[in-house]
Each structure stands twice: as structure tokens, then as C-alpha cells.
Amino acid sequence: MVSARSTRASSAVERLKRRTGHTGYSMARTSDGLFSLSEMPGSPPLGPPLELDEFVQFVNGLGPQEVRRMTKSDIAFEKQLVRKKP
């Protein structure tokens, strides 16, 4: 299960790199199994070491956010959901 944890965390870091265009972000894992993020390898961490879920949430909150693409069908479906509420 360790590899799935690392994959989820590293995927979050890769998304951050893609959103910001800054390829220097680096993830480290402590001996306690906690994750930390730094701007460059060897630089001080941007925050305290965190559990996996907290780390992914922290990394996803950094940098510009991706705008979700909405199709005409998505918009029409959401309008129907709003009308159906009792």
C-alpha cells in the first residue's frame, strides 16, 4: 500500500507543476510516513509534514486552479438538477 500512497502524493505534485509551470517543486517523505513539499530539492519545506490526505489537499490548494470545462450538455444537466429540488 506504500506505493499507492506515494503515487497519489506525487500525482498531486505533478499537477501542481503543470498548473504553475514551475518544475522545481519536490516532495519528500519522512520516516514517519508523512509528506512535505518544497520549492526546490534541498530547500526548506513550504509547510509542516502532513498525512497523505492533508498533503494532497494542501498541494491542490496551491497555485492557480484549473477551470473545469463545461459543455452545453453539462450546463443543461445542472439546470435540470436545480429545477428538480422540492
Largest Cα–Cα separation, the chain: 56
| Distance of alpha carbon 75 from alpha carbon 83, whole angstroms | 13
**Whole-number pLDDT of residue 47:** 87
Write a three-state SS string for the chain: CHHHHHHHHHHHHHHHHHHHCCCCCEEEECCCCCEEEECCCCCCECCCCECHHHHHHHHHHCCCCCCCCCCHHHHHHHHHHHHCCC
Give the predicted TM-score (pTM) of the model: 0.68
pLDDT, tens digit, 9 for 90 and up, residues 1-25: 455 567 888 999 999 999 888 889 9
